Copies of this chain bind each other. A is one copy, B any other.
C-alpha cells in the first residue's frame, strides 16, 4: 500500500513538483506535465508521451536527451486531459511537428486524439502511435484493442532515436509503428496496489496465487494459478511470448531481441535477476540472440507486486536506432553528449478572458456558480462511495477524479463571477477547469457537459428554462458523440440521455425549470440504478477495465446525484424568487 501523502487530491501535483525539484537538470515543468530542460535542435520532431501518474518512471521519468521531449502527466491512473496534452505538446514542439505515443486506454485515446485535433487545427503537424504490447489483453486478431504496458518504453525509445537522428514526422511514425508491431509483453501479478488516501486496495489477488495477464490497473487477466517457482515463471513468460512472433522471425527461427523484465513495484531486483537468469537460458535455447537486456523497474503501479516480460524483436533499422544514447531522470543508456540547458522561462499564465454579458446573464451567473458549488459539495459527500463503485467497475479513481475536477470548476466559476462574467462564461470556465484538472474520461465528459450548457445559454440573455433544456440536450449529444458510447453501454450516457429527454419534454410541456429538472433528475436516478442490472456490451474500448454485472456505473450514479442536488437548488432558488 501507499502511505506517504498529504491531501490525496493534491498527490499528483505534489509528486510532479517534487519530481521536477529533483530533476531540474533534465526537465522543466509546464502546464500539464514536463518538457526537456535541455536545448532541442530546431526542426526536430517532438516525441510527446503521457498517461496517468502512478507508473514512474513512466511517464515523466522518461523525458530527456535521446528519449521523450515532453510528458503529459495525468492524475493518478487517469489520463491527462486534452488541455494537458495540448499544453505539453505545444511547449515541446520545435518546428518538426509532434509525435504522440501512449498506452492504449480509452481515456488516453480520447484526450490525446482531441489534443491532436487541436494541434493540427493550429497548423502543427501531429501523428500518433498507441502502444498495444500486452498480448493477454486481446487476441492477435484484435491487436489494436490491446493495452499498453511496459512495451511503452521500446516504442518511445525508437521514436525518439529516430527523431534525434533527423527523421521527419512521417519517418518517426513509420518506424515507431513498426517498433510497436514488434513489441510484445506478458505480465503476472501477486497483489494489487492502493492509491494514496484510499482505504482499500484497488484490486487484489488471493494470497499465494498469481494472476496471469492481469493489467497494471487491475484489468482482468486470463488465468490464475499458484505462485510458481522463479524458473517456472520464466518458462511461462518466455513460452507465451515465443508463441507470437513477427512473421520474419517465425520464418527464420532465431532473431535478435531486446528483453525487458519489468518489476511493477514490490517484486524486487534480486527476484527479477533470478527469473531473468532462466529467461536468458530459454531465449538462448530457442536460438534467439539477446541484445541489451533490461532488468528493473520501467513501468510500475505504485507497490503492486508483479512483473512483465517484454520482447522487442529487432530488425537492422531498429537495432541501429536502439543503440543510441539516452539520458533521462530514470533511464540512461550509453554516453550522451550533454546539451546546453534551456533557460526559456515557462510561458506566462493565460489571463482570464471574460466577454461582455447582459445584466440578466450576469445576474444568473451567481446561480450558475452556486450550481457548480453544489456539484463540488455533492462529490465531496459521496467521494468514497464513488471510489468504491469504481473499484469494482474500473480503476477506483472516479471519486478522486471527480472531486479534483469539481473543486477546480468551483474555483474557476467563482473567479469568473468575480470578474463580471455572464452565466454562460461562468460554466465555460468551470468546464475548462474541470477537464484540465481532473483528466481522465470523466473529466473530459464533464467538461463537455458544462461547456455545452454554457455555450448554449450564452451571456446575451438571462438563461431560460428552454435554453437550459437545450443546453442539456447539447450536452447529451456531445457526451454521446465524444465518449462513443450508447445507452445500454453502462456509462454516464445511460443516465444523461433520459435526463435530457425528460427535461426537454417537461419544459416543452410548460413546466417550470425547477419542476421539470426534478422530474428529470428522478428519471436519471432510476436509469443510473438500472445500470446495475446491465451486462455491459463488450468489444468497445473502455477505460481500464470491463465492468461488472450487479454494480451501477459510477459515472451514471454521480450524474444522478448531481442532477438531484441541483434540482434541490433550483427549488430553493425559485422559492426565494416567489
Provide the bound-state CA to CA distance between A227 and B227, in Å.
Answer: 31
Known: A4-B275, A229-B5, A277-B17. A268 touches B303 (CB 8 A): yes
**Roughly how many angstroms separate A210 CA and B189 CA in the complex, as a whole number?**
27
CB of A3 within 8 Å of the partner chain: yes
CA distance A269 to B338 in the complex (A): 25
| Contact between chains at B338 and A273 (CB < 8 Å) | no
Q: Which residues of B contact A23 (CB under 8 A)?
A: 293
Q: Mark A250-281, 1 if CB is under 8 A from B, else 0.
A: 00000000000100011111111111111010
Q: For A5, what are the chain B residues with a Cβ–Cβ distance below 8 Å?
A: 229-230, 271, 274
Give the most central of A4, A190, A229, A330: most B CB within 10 Å: A4
Task: Answer whether A266 and B303 are a contact pair too, CB < 8 Å, given A4-B271, A22-B280.
Answer: yes
Report the separation of the CA atoms of residues A265 and B336 in the bound assembly, to the nearest whole angstrom.
Answer: 29
Chain B CB within 8 A of A481 CB: no
Alpha-carbon distance A6/B307, docked complex (angstroms): 17
Q: Which A residues between 287 and 307 are near B, CB-CB below 8 angstroms?
A: 292-296, 300, 302-303, 305, 307
A327: nearest chain-B partner, CB-CB: B335
Q: Which of B21, B56, B269, B305 contacts A3 (CB 8 A)?
A: B305
The 8 Å CB contact of A233, one of B4, B296, B334, B337, is B4
Please indicate the chain B residues that have their CB under 8 angstroms from the CB of A11 in the complex: 270, 274
The answer, yes or no, to whether A533 is at the interface (CB within 8 Å) is no
Contact count band on A = 35 or more
> Is the beta-carbon distance between A274 and B6 smaller than 8 angstroms?
yes
Q: Does A332 lie at the interface of the complex (its beta carbon under 8 Å from any beta carbon of B)?
A: yes
* CB of A457, distance to nearest CB on chain B (Å): 40
Residue A196 interfacial (CB < 8 Å): yes
Q: A335–B332 Cα gap in the complex (Å)?
A: 10
- Interfacial chain B residues near A270, Cβ < 8 Å: 2, 11, 15, 53-54, 56, 196, 302
Of B3, B56, B293, the contact of A267 (CB 8 Å cutoff)? B3
Q: Does A57 contact B (CB under 8 A)?
A: yes
Q: In the complex the two chains form, what is the Cα distance from A21 to B281 in whole Å?
A: 9
| Chain B residues with CB below 8 A from A275, complex form | 4, 18
Please report the C-alpha to C-alpha distance between residue A332 and residue B227 in the assembled complex, in whole angstroms: 34
Interface flag for A418 (CB, 8 Å) = no
Q: Which residue of B lies closest to A277 (CB)?
A: B18
Contact B303 A2 (CB under 8 A): no
Q: Does A61 contact B (CB under 8 A)?
A: yes
Interchain CB contact under 8 A, B302 and A268: yes
The answer to whether the Cβ of A385 comes within 8 Å of any Cβ in the partner chain is no
Chain B residue numbers with a CB within 8 Å of A342 are none
Q: Cβ of B335 and Cβ of A269 under 8 Å apart?
A: no
Which residue in chain B gives the minimum CB-CB distance to A25?
Answer: B292
Least CB distance, A282 to chain B, in whole angstroms: 12
Q: Mark A30-70, 1 if CB is under 8 A from B, else 0.
A: 00000000000000000000000110110001000000000
In the complex, whether A320 has a CB less than 8 A from a CB of chain B is no
Within 8 A of B (CB), among A107-158: none
**A274 contact from B4, B261, B269, Cβ within 8 A:** B4
Which 8 residue pairs are nearest across A and B when measured between Cβ atoms? A18-B277, A18-B273, A56-B269, A266-B266, A4-B271, A266-B303, A332-B332, A4-B230
- A19-B295, A25-B292, A265-B266 are known contacts; what are 18 more A-B pairs with Cβ within 8 Å? A3-B267, A4-B233, A5-B271, A6-B229, A14-B277, A17-B273, A17-B277, A18-B273, A22-B261, A22-B273, A22-B276, A53-B270, A61-B269, A196-B271, A266-B303, A268-B302, A303-B305, A335-B335
- Can you spell out 7 A-B residue pairs with CB atoms less than 8 angstroms apart? A2-B271, A5-B229, A15-B270, A22-B276, A22-B293, A53-B270, A303-B303
